[in-house]
Amino acid sequence: MPKYRQKYGQFVIEGRKMVEEVFHSDWEIDGIWATKAFVNRHEPTYPFDIISVDENKKLTAFDTAPGVLALVRIPVPDALDQGVNFMLALDGISDPGNMGSIIRLADWFGLQQVIASEDCVDMFNPKCLNASMGSFLRVSVVYTKLNQVVEGRTVYGAFLDGVSIHNQKITGKSMLIVGSESHGIRLEAQSLVTKRITIPGNGGAESLNAAMASAILLDNLLR
Amino acid sequence: MPKYRQKYGQFVIEGRKMVEEVFHSDWEIDGIWATKAFVNRHEPTYPFDIISVDENKKLTAFDTAPGVLALVRIPVPDALDQGVNFMLALDGISDPGNMGSIIRLADWFGLQQVIASEDCVDMFNPKCLNASMGSFLRVSVVYTKLNQVVEGRTVYGAFLDGVSIHNQKITGKSMLIVGSESHGIRLEAQSLVTKRITIPGNGGAESLNAAMASAILLDNLLR
């Protein structure tokens, strides 16, 4: 986790929809700032302070500043829930856009937690929050060693040489490990996999990105 | 299409893998430039000129310049192939990352063309090229009015209230229309849809992004 988020226990969220969604959640907000132009256009109903366009430009994580941002307290992380039937686990996902998309996907399929190896990108990274489209409020990401959560589970992992994911359906306690764009599922996590699966495709692309692959895998396993 | 690409009929591609892949394709290259650091590290086997780190910073479309870029001729667009059994059509996709991911996905499933409404983002946008991971070399994007390609096809469109995509499989000539993040499938394109489908999910997320939704839909329709 980047130092300022770790040090102050806060993160910044930007954009009209996201700020509104956080405001209506039970997460603790330390401040909301908006530009005059934003306020004139959207007439926010939550309390805010005005910032200048220049200040906003300095603070934003995006090429085009959305005009509104909130400083939010990082909540105490939820403990790992070992009781769930199915777990989604991420091995070394470093792209914040992929991470956020996967959080959104987990939320779509009703998963309330995602397990992430300790070197996965921080879920409070601005690009991750943005890609999650507010799903970070409903899905908790538990950073831990993957080998500490697999006991007694069928562990699925996607490889190019696995069996087709079609007609695979989870039964009993299970887990899906998704690897990163650059390294796939790394050796340590590979050793946890008990069922090697693959996404059938017959074109020229060598792989899919982690978010698209997760989408297809979850749709098949959880149907 | 942004003016300079339209005016000069060229686009810029960046990054080690991408430049290499284009170099080994039959696409026409007008020049390759690399920084000294890049050359020392990767010892390219293709011809190139040296640029300074500062020049590279000015030219790059990315926060961190990859250190190598090529100027490539935009090929004459492939004509629409009406003969194919299945078509993927995009309605108003404006996010270049989503567009590139969908091109990569099409390539994964062996589709050689993607139909795009004329207001979709340009496939030669740097972020789109980057997300496509070289698949733009194998998949041609045909920009056209969607209503000119649907004749005689079953047209699938994803909505929140359609029938489950599970166990839907294309038979005969068909087409899938994917809408954008912000507007979904717009009214004009909606009127072309003959089969409303949906991706089952029971969580809190209101939607999936266009790339993830396309991944799940194609995996189901083309299995």
Does B81 map to a domain?
no
Residues in chain B within 8 Å Cβ distance of A200: 223
> Number of Cβ pairs closer than 8 Å across A and B?
105
Q: What is the domain-level CATH number for residue B16?
A: 3.30.1330.30
A208 — phi, psi (to 5°)? -115, 160
Q: At what angle do helices B210-221 and B96-108 cross, to 10 degrees?
A: 20
Does A64 map to a domain?
yes
Residue B135: burial class (beta carbons within 10 Å; 0-12, 13-18, 19+): buried
Is the Cβ–Cβ distance between B118 and B146 less than 8 Å? no
Q: Please, which residues have CB within 8 angstroms of residue A69's CB and are 6 or more apart in sequence? A: A12, A13, A14, A19, A32, A33, A34, A56, A59, A60
Tell me the ipTM for this assembly: 0.92
Does A80 map to a domain?
no
Does B78 map to a domain?
no
Q: Are strands A195-198 and A86-91 parallel, antiparallel or unpaired?
A: unpaired
Is A111–B138 a contact, with Cβ atoms under 8 angstroms apart? no
Q: Which of B107, B205, B215 has the CB atom closest to A133's CB atom?
A: B205
Residues A122 and A18 in one domain: no
pTM above 0.90, yes or no: yes
Is the Cβ–Cβ distance between B154 and B172 less than 8 Å? yes
**In terms of residue numbers, what domain contains A174?**
86-221
Does A7 map to a domain?
yes
Tokens matching residue B83: 């003969």
Q: What is the domain-level CATH number for residue B212?
A: 3.40.1280.10
Residues A63 and A94 in one domain: no
Residues B18 and B95 in one domain: no
Residues A215 and A154 in one domain: yes
| Interface with chain A: mutation pick from B85, B138, B168, B216, highest number of A CBs within 10 Å | B216
Q: How far apart are CA B93 and CA B89, in angstroms?
A: 10
Res B208: pLDDT: 93
Cross-strand bridge partners of residue B87 = B175
User: Per-residue b/e over A185-218, b at no fewer than 16 CB within 10 Å?
Assistant: bbeebbebbeebbbbebebbbebbbbbbbbbbbb
Res A136: pLDDT: 96
Is the Cβ–Cβ distance between B193 and B187 less than 8 Å? no
Of B51, B73, B95, the residue at which a domain comes to its end is B73
Walk along chain B (223 residues) and give the pLDDT tens digit of each residue. Answer: 566 787 889 999 999 999 999 999 999 999 999 999 999 999 999 999 999 999 999 999 888 899 999 999 999 988 999 999 999 999 999 999 999 999 999 999 999 999 999 999 999 999 999 999 999 999 999 999 999 999 999 999 999 889 999 988 898 999 999 999 888 999 999 999 999 999 999 899 989 999 999 999 999 999 9
Is B107–A205 a contact, with Cβ atoms under 8 angstroms apart? yes
| Count of domains observed in chain A | 2
Does B48 map to a domain?
yes
Q: For A143-165, how does the pLDDT look when each residue is reduced to its tens digit (9 = 90+)?
A: 999 999 999 999 999 998 899 99
Is the Cβ–Cβ distance between B117 and B145 less than 8 Å? yes
